[in-house]
Every structure is written in C-alpha cells, then in structure tokens.
Structure 1
Amino acid sequence: MKLKVIHILDIFPSKSETFVINLILESIEKGYSAQILANRILNSKDSSQESLLLESGLYKNAETFNPNIPQNKLKRILLAIKVLLYNIRYMPVFFKTLNTKRYGLKAKTLKMWFQASIFLKYREADIFHAHFGKNGKLLSEMKDIGAIKGDIITSFYGYDTFSTDNDRTYFKNYYKSTFVTSNNIVTSSRYLFNNLICLGVPEHKVLINPVGVNIDLFRYRNRVYSNRLHIITIGRLIRLKGQHLGIDVIKILKDRGYNVQYTIMGDGDEYHALIDKIEKLELKEEITILKGGSQEKVLEELYKNHLFLMTSIKDDLGREEGQGLVVAEAQSTGIPIVCFNSGGVPETVLKNKTGFVIEEGNINEMANAVEKFILTPDLIVSMGKDARCFVEENFNNKIQSQNILRLYK
C-alpha cells in the first residue's frame, strides 16, 4: 500500500517554486501517493513546468483548502449546517473550530469550519508536508482539532524564518504550535537555520537540506570566450535581489574600457527603476532586461553567458537571500559565480573554486572579481567545471529529495 503524502502550498502552480514540484514528482516516481492542497490555484500556464504538471495529474487533482464562503451570514450558517450533516460523525471536530479565543477571526467567520471539512477528506493520509511556515501553522491547527491524523513535516524556505527585534516575540508565539506539532522541520541553509533558532525551533527536529537542482535539465556546457564577456543575473526584480548594484558594476567595467554585455532576467516592482538607471548611466548598449520565462528560457539564457552575477543583499527590512537556488542552477551549467556575502548565498558557492564571494554591497570589489575573468578567460572553463562537480555532489535534487523521502519513511 502506497504511503499517502498531502502537500500544502500557498499558491499552485508558482513559477518560483519549481523545487517543490520536483520533490513531489520524485516522490511519485519512488512509489508515494501525492496530493496537493493549496490556498490558491492558478492556471496551469502560470507554471514554468506546465507539461510536467499535466502529465503527472498533479494539476488536475489539486484542490484548494480555501473554499468560497458566502458573504451573507444566513447563507454561510446554512451552508455550515449542510457541511456538518454531510460529516456528522466528525461533529466534535467542527465544534472545536468555533473556539474564538484560540483561533480568532477564523473561528468567528466560520472559515476554519469550512477548512476543516476539506482536510477531513484527507484525514487518514500518512504524512502532511507543509511548504512554508504559515502552512505548517495551518496543519498544527488541523491536527489540534482532529481534522487530520498523520505526521507533519514543515519546510521553511526563506522569508518565513525572518524576524526582527520588534516582532520576534510575535513570531515565536505564532510558530510555537507548528514547532510542537511538526515531527520534522526542514530548511535549506545554515543561515535560515540560525533564523529559526531565534524563533525557538527545537534543534533536534531540524534537517538542513539545501534545495536541489535538476542536473539532468541544467546540463553542463563548455563556454567559449571571445572579446566580450557575457554576464547574467536572474531573479525577481525587487530591492533584495540587488540588480541595481549589478548595473553599477557594469558601469565601472565600462569606464575601465572593458567590453561586457549584461542580461538581467526577471519580473518585479523594480523594473522601471532599473530601466531608468540604465538610461541615466548610458548603458543601453551594454544591459538588457528580459521578463522572466519558463525553465527552458532560463536555460537558454544561461548557456549564452560566461559569468553569473549574484547581487542579492540585505533589504531595508533586514531580510536576506535564504539560499539562492539560481546560483546552484547556474553552476550546474558550468557558469562561475561572483556573489555578495549575504544570507545563505555563500553556502551555495565553493569560495575561490567555483566563484568569488565579495563583501556585501562592495561594487568595486565585485567589478574587480569580474575583471579577473576578462584578464584570465581560462578561469571561465576551469571554475565552470569545478562548479558542475560541486553541484552534482552537493545540490543534486535527486539526493536532496532522497533526504526528504527518508523522513517520509
């Protein structure tokens, strides 16, 4: 009999969370039964892995745990009664959802009542895997009222580990039940683990398991350098990703007389600000911004370039990059890295072997590091080969997935 695993997601599908789908598909291949429950379900075309989702049946069978609830109070109550009658043997579960002192507005509006009715359909599943902390919180509530019985694994990937001195007490209380109820906590870097320690996570429950790369998709390709260094940065266009500093680096290199081409790939709020900066610095010939696309498009662009610039920095709120999966993906194809020493990114680079790690925000030192590849082009190939080996040994998604499957067992 197959072990049944229910995966709890916020948005499905999501272009930026391909690693979750890779894990789920790997588990199916290894004989597990998988079901997705998501807060919001988008069109399959919103995924960069549409064909995989359709072929596997994951998209067809996905269900939302956030059903439409009537705004009209009377209609809401009548529907709640109907749901109760349909699940009458679980009456105690439903009445526990009405604890306003414990569950607040979710209890008062009957939202938790309706959520419980959905989770009850999967009550006998063996394992519930929450992807991101707030979904672990939801599972702890469902376990508390008896809507589910199985073991819980909660994976924290980045922003969900972050707290400041001002809000740390709030998040400690928020995640307290999650840490207690979860049989295992998974996170992807030592940096994120340290964030969780600040929130009171029990250390013995934590597995540090980096998000892996599909090395069969992100294949190695030898680079040939000729007169112009092609550099790329891939990521959401937000302040934390630091693409504005990448533009400054290109300006320095141009002023030094070097022939460079810089591609920024992604979508986000900083798009127009970056365009304005490129025009102001007269770098339209040197810099191109491409809107984000499928994995195939990402690969196509990676293969065109010699060097990956990882410009992520601490943002105004104090948040940093949790791991930087794209750094591992780039190295898998044979691209060396130049990155800032920020968050979990340095854990994804073998310093001075597969790339250079620079003091955060130091654009002159970053430009100096890039300059080394122009003056010594052989570094592109030698570091690129080391980068591929480094990823195969440390960020292979099949190995990383096996670590999670061992938890399932």
Structure 2
Amino acid sequence: MSRILFRMWKFPRVSETFMISQFKSAKKAGFKIDLALKGSLRDESSNIELLEEIDSESRIYSEDSLIPYSRIKKLFRATLIILTNIFSAKIFFKLFRNYGVKAFDYLIQFSFFKKFNKHQIIHIQYGTNAKPLDILKKYGLIKNKIIISFHGHDAFFPINNKIFDRDYYKDIFEFADLIIANTPYLKTQLLKIGCPEERIKLLPVGVDTKFFNPTPIERDSETFSMITIGRLSKVKGHVYAIEAVQRLRKKGYNVKLTIIGEGPLRIELQSRIRDSELQDIIHLVGRKNQQEIKSFLMTSDIYISTSMPVRAGRRETQGLANLEAQACGLPIVAFNSGGVKYTLLELVTGFLVDEGDVDALTEKIERLMLNQDLRKKMGLSAVNFVQNHFNQDSLDKEWENIYKSLL
C-alpha cells in the first residue's frame, strides 16, 4: 500500500479540522497515513480519536527530545549515524562544510526520517515545519516526494515574530515537488517571497457538505441572531463586530451576537463587552466542536466576518468558517480582507465592505435584518455556492489526482 507521512508541529487542535480533512483525503485516495510531530504528544487533543477512525493502523511519531541538549551526547549520536551510514559519508561532510555545528542536528534528524523511506510522499502542513526536510531533500538524503501546504501566517515575515530570515524558504521552494496555496491571495504572497509559480497549485480547504447543510431547527424568531467564529486574536477583528452590534442595539433592534473561539484577546473582549453593557446580547462561548458549531449556525440568521490586517500586513488567507456558515444557509457580511473575498459571491451570497468600515458593516447587517426575502435568497445561493466550489468530495478527487501523480 502507498504511504504518506504528514509532518506538522503538533497534533491538530479541535479548531484545525482542515488537517483532519486532509488525512481523510489521503485515506480515500488509498494511502496509509502516519504523522510526525515536531512537538510533544503531551499536546494531544480529542482529534486523535478522529485519526483512529480514519486509519486505525496510523502511527504518531514525536520528534520531541530527538536532539540532545548535551553537545557530547549530540556528537556521540552523530558519530554513530556516520558510522552506520558510511555510504553517505561524503554527503555528511558536505553538510558540515556548509552548516557547521548545525549539521549535527541535521544528521540526527536524518536518522529519524530515514525510517520513513517507504513513505512515497511527505506532506508538510505549514511552511514553518519544512526544516530540515528541505535540507535533507537538497542533499539527497531522503528520496520522498514532498508537498507543502501553506495556510497563511507562515508566508508573512517576520513569521510568528521569530523567523526574520527572508531566505528561510529558499531550499524548500527549490526542492519541494509541490506547494499548495488555498487562495489566489496566498499564492500572490508566496510569489512575493520567492516561490516559483510553476510549483504552486491552488486548492482551497473544503467543506463537508454532508455535515454542514441547512438542517431545520427550532429557533427564537423574535431575536435577530448573528454569529462569528474564529480565534480571539487581532486578525479576526472581533472588536468591529462588537461595535456594529452596539450601534444596532442603540437603534432599538433586538439582536444577539455569538462569538465562538478562544485566544489571547478574551479578557480584552470581555471588558469591552462589559463596558458597553452588552453582556446580555454578546456571548463569548469559547471553543466548540463541530457538532456544537453547526447547532449555533443553525440558530443564527447571518454570519459576520471582520478579519483585519495585522503585523507585516498579514491578512486572513481563506476563512473556512465563512464557508461552513454559508453551507448551512447563512448569508455573510464580511470585510474585504485578504482571501476572504474568494469565500463568497458578492451581492449573491453576501456583502463585502471595506476593512474597518463599521458604518458599512452595520448598514449591510441592517439591510439583511429588515429583508427576510433577501436573507432567504442569499442563503439558498450560499448553499449552492459552497456545494459547487468547496465540496469536500470534489476536492478529495483533486487530492487523489495530486498524490497519485507524484508516485
């Protein structure tokens, strides 16, 4: 059976269901899948149960503590690797000549990845997890085909305010077999930082429309319910949604906003809600699983997306929650930020307004609030839009073609 090794920082959080979908795509394509984690298994999440459902034979390998802190232990281990891989000695010496003491780390990591030589493909999730696979591929120490999926923050320097070297991706851009971008916006950014256009494949993150679909549910018809989903961080721009709700409340409308997600701005957002005396209509409900998210979506009238640029001009690259909401029949009002515009049809499934324009945001929400027929029309169009362009089943077939073309 053909095999794929997925390499990532740690096991996907509950909010990172797009990676679980990627595992499923590979399994449907007939591959056995395994995972290599740079971090520790101490960060396990409940998504591990989903992995077992996908492939009960999958194995999770941790790279945590792979490289000793002690220089003596590191030297000893690297020496053993050289002696047991004597036919690669010339390559090892090239590593030392070009990378100095860092080559010790690469040798130890080589000994880890060598055991995956039967995996025809290594699929890296997030560009920041490319090293040392780019170096090992460059020097011919691994022969696996390499795919790397960028997801957004990993394409904007400084990355995580830690990686400032703009040549960081030089080797992976040259030696990866394929690089995936989820929207034209992200593709443009990859081109800016030196990725060859011929290596880039555009493929969005998909939606399981068998799960996310309009399901009738009893709801409060007296209250106009809005919802937004996303990590409580500046890039999601939750403060703008809160301000829009405050304006609608001052106009006398009976409205409610549910914010799903966790993050570093929770306390700040709670304070803002409390200071605005909106505790009874704006609810921070924390992180939720997929079933809970769908239930919240089905009791809402519209979806709000207020993504904003942050450090280095980084913006939202796609916005999966926007698509899941539309798949459930919700029209969307969104800031025209980054790749968000590729997740809706302007004036058909929702409205786009300029970043930070709370006046326009409030006006579009009010328009949908007062026009039930328009909401229904846009909601139906939204369902068809997602089904036709982001249906996971269709994207699974594209992934199957991609994987098998590399064998």
Q: Say how many residue pairs are matched.
A: 400
Alignment partner of 1:35: what SS? Answer: strand
Report the more deviating stretch, 352-361 or 3-12. Answer: 3-12
Residue 208 of structure 2 is matched in structure 1 by: 214
Once the two structures are superposed, residues 119-170 of structure 1 have per-residue CA deviations (whole angstroms, 9 ceiling, x without a partner) of 1111243222122112334322111233310222221110122248xx9x96
Residue 399 of structure 1 is matched in structure 2 by: 394
Residue 134 of structure 1 is matched in structure 2 by: 128
Alignment partner of 1:282: what SS? Answer: coil
234, 256, 261: which is aligned to 2:229?
234
CA distance in 2, matches of 1:214, 1:146: 38
Report the more deviating stretch, 226-235 or 147-156. Answer: 147-156
Once the two structures are superposed, residues 328-348 of structure 1 have per-residue CA deviations (whole angstroms, 9 ceiling, x without a partner) of 111111111110000000110
1:341-352 equivalences under 5 Å are 341-352=336-347
Whichever residue aligns with residue 133 of structure 1, its letter is G
Residue 339 of structure 1 is matched in structure 2 by: 334
CA distance in 2, matches of 1:261, 1:215: 26
Whichever residue aligns with residue 208 of structure 1, its letter is L
260, 264, 269: which is aligned to 2:264?
269
TM-score by length of 1: 0.90
Whichever residue aligns with residue 106 of structure 1, its letter is K
Residue 75 of structure 1 is matched in structure 2 by: 73
TM-score by length of 2: 0.91
1:280-295 equivalences under 5 Å are 280-295=275-290
Whichever residue aligns with residue 51 of structure 1, its letter is E
1:359-398 equivalences under 5 Å are 359-398=354-393
Whichever residue aligns with residue 344 of structure 1, its letter is G
Q: In the alignment, is the contact (CA less than 8 A) between 1:308 and 1:338 conserved in 2? A: yes
1:51-200 equivalences under 5 Å are 51-57=49-55, 61-85=59-83, 87=85, 90-92=88-90, 94-99=92-97, 101-102=98-99, 106-107=102-103, 110-163=104-157, 172-200=166-194
Gaps of 5+ in 1: none
Q: In the alignment, is the contact (CA less than 8 A) between 1:222 and 1:334 conserved in 2? A: no
CA distance in 1, matches of 2:304, 2:220: 17
Change (3 A) 1:300 1:402: same
Alignment partner of 2:66: what SS? Answer: coil
Residue 29 of structure 2 is matched in structure 1 by: 30
Once the two structures are superposed, residues 286-344 of structure 1 have per-residue CA deviations (whole angstroms, 9 ceiling, x without a partner) of 11101112222222221221111101111243210010011011111111111000000
CA distance in 1, matches of 2:70, 2:48: 37
Report the more deviating stretch, 298-307 or 82-91. Answer: 82-91
Change (3 A) 1:222 1:405: same
Residue 252 of structure 1 is matched in structure 2 by: 247
Gaps of 5+ in 2: none
CA distance in 1, matches of 2:230, 2:34: 29
Once the two structures are superposed, residues 204-226 of structure 1 have per-residue CA deviations (whole angstroms, 9 ceiling, x without a partner) of 22111111111122122357672
CA distance in 2, matches of 1:255, 1:314: 28
Report the more deviating stretch, 189-198 or 68-77. Answer: 68-77
Alignment partner of 2:252: what SS? Answer: coil
Whichever residue aligns with residue 314 of structure 1, its letter is P
CA distance in 2, matches of 1:24, 1:105: 36
CA deviation after TM superposition for structure 1 residue 57, in Å: 4.2
CA deviation after TM superposition for structure 1 residue 171, in Å: 5.2
CA deviation after TM superposition for structure 1 residue 5, in Å: 1.7
